[in-house]
């Protein structure tokens, strides 16, 4: 069984994780939302939290440890999520979609916003997971890298497809088959996170910027281009531009992408590698164009009509936050009902209208249009077929690849 071995992390990996937490994907915001993401986003404190429990991992025999399900006798669910990741009423005193679920099913939802970052949360629940014990939670939302780890360790329950008719039918294709959970046997996405090209049309003189090649070669952009300090985003987008698939690439492909970016550094085409602090520079025009996260673009556009975005013809990088049922959860069937409920287009539309992340539900566009036509027409929230076809996930890495690749990237960005 594969075990998590934090002692194998290199200095470059730890530095990358710190960047993610402080200014990268780990610092992406939606109102007060703080999200730790990327490769593992481990701080030194997080490393201690993950190793201090001293409990051997539960054995996996053909999947997660079976749970005694009390759903028929106990009409309840304990649901842990991130802050500001659920729709609320105007006075913020109620959560309309959760209340409607309870009204419809009779199942009471104890909803807790106790996830502030992936590492901290994993450190909190790991002792119980490792011992094959109930965490006190029936449903959790974690970012793809952590979902992959929990599934790999046998700490997530396999979902019953017969309880998930809407989820099975309505999950959009781009999220259907991640390499870390083929066929979505253990997970369903709550939202998606896309990496695109953003530019300030005033700073570019009205010129559209729509490819990594343009970012790296256009002389009119020299010294005003930004790439991200997140390895998967910057290297992944460059791989795509070079005709390589981020879901299936070699070390030689990776090295070629690093070399391409290094040329941009050496020629001073790239101004700097940034975390989410690119938003201020892009807004002012100090950066004419850069790689950006879709959620930031939506927020920037609300205050600056000069902010535009483009989806490269070569494609873009996407990731997700995901719903999982932990081992020994007492109310698995009830949790599955709630997962399935959020894949009903009308319900998904209410959630998407509030949080403005990529909605993974087919058929949501028509329902979202009833709430806000502008949101329904925004492909950063509801990807159209053309955009969805260009979505690519960065493949899972071995621990050896992780170490080597992060060290090369750290040298590139001067970290």
pLDDT at site 3: 44
Could you tell me what percentage of the chain is helix, strand and coil, using 3-state DSSP and rounding each to the nearest 5? 45, 15, 40
Question: pLDDT tens digits, residue range 107-122?
Answer: 999 999 998 777 788 8
Distances (CA, A) of 204 to 168, 300, 308: 44, 17, 11
pLDDT at site 38: 38
pLDDT at site 11: 67
In terms of phi and psi (left: phi > 0; alpha: psi -120 to 50; beta: otherwise), the region of 388 is: alpha
pLDDT at site 399: 76
pLDDT at site 21: 56
pLDDT at site 356: 81
Give the separation between CA 48 and CA 123, rounded to whole angstroms.
Answer: 8
Q: Structure tokens of 208? A: 């559209």
pLDDT at site 61: 40
| Helix (H) / strand (E) containing 319 | strand 316-324
pTM above 0.95, yes or no: no
For the chain, what is the radius of gyration of the CA atoms? 21
Question: pLDDT tens digits, residue range 198-256?
Answer: 999 999 999 999 999 999 999 999 999 999 988 888 999 999 999 999 999 999 999 99
Task: Identify the burial level of 346 via C-beta atoms within 10 angstroms of its C-beta, where 0-12 means exposed, 13-18 middle and 19 or more buried.
Answer: middle
Question: pLDDT tens digits, residue range 280-299?
Answer: 999 999 999 999 988 789 88
Regions of the chain with pLDDT less than 70: 1-67, 415
């Amino acid at each position: 069984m594969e075990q998590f071995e934090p002692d194998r992390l290199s200095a470059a990996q730890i530095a990358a994780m710190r960047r993610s937490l402080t200014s990268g994907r780990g610092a992406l915001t939606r109102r007060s939302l703080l999200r730790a993401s990327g490769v593992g986003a481990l701080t030194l404190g997080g490393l201690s939290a993950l190793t201090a429990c001293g409990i051997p991992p539960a054995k996996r025999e053909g999947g997660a440890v079976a749970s005694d399900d009390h759903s028929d006798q106990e009409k309840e669910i304990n649901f842990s999520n991130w802050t500001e990741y659920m729709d609320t009423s105007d006075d913020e005193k109620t959560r309309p979609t959760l209340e409607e679920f309870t009204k419809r099913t009779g199942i009471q939802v104890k909803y807790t916003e106790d996830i502030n970052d992936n590492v901290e949360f994993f450190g909190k629940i790991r002792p119980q997971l490792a011992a094959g014990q109930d965490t006190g939670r029936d449903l959790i939302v974690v970012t793809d890298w952590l979902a992959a780890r929990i599934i790999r360790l046998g700490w997530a329950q396999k979902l019953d497809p017969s309880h998930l008719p809407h989820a099975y039918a309505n999950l959009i294709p781009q999220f259907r088959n991640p390499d870390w959970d083929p066929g979505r046997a253990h997970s369903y996405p709550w939202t998606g996170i896309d990496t695109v090209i953003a530019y300030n049309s005033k700073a570019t003189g009205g010129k559209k910027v729509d490819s990594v090649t343009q970012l790296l070669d256009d002389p009119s952009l020299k010294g005003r281009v930004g790439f991200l300090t997140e390895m998967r985003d910057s290297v992944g987008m460059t791989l795509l531009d070079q005709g390589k698939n981020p879901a299936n690439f070699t070390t030689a492909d990776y090295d070629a992408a690093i070399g391409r970016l290094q040329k941009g550094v050496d020629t001073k085409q790239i101004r700097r590698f940034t975390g989410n602090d690119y938003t201020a520079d892009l807004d002012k025009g100090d950066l004419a164009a850069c790689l950006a996260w879709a959620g930031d673009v939506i927020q920037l556009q609300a205050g600056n009509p000069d902010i535009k975005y483009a989806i490269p013809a070569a494609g873009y990088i996407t990731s997700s936050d995901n719903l999982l049922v932990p081992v020994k959860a007492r109310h698995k069937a009830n949790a599955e009902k709630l997962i399935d409920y959020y894949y009903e287009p009308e319900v998904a539309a209410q959630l998407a209208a509030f949080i403005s992340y990529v909605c993974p539900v087919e058929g949501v566009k028509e329902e979202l249009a009833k709430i806000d036509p502008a949101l329904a027409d925004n492909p950063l929230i509801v990807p159209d077929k053309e955009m969805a076809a260009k979505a690519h996930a960065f493949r899972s890495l071995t621990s050896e690849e992780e170490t080597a690749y992060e060290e090369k990237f750290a040298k590139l960005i001067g970290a």
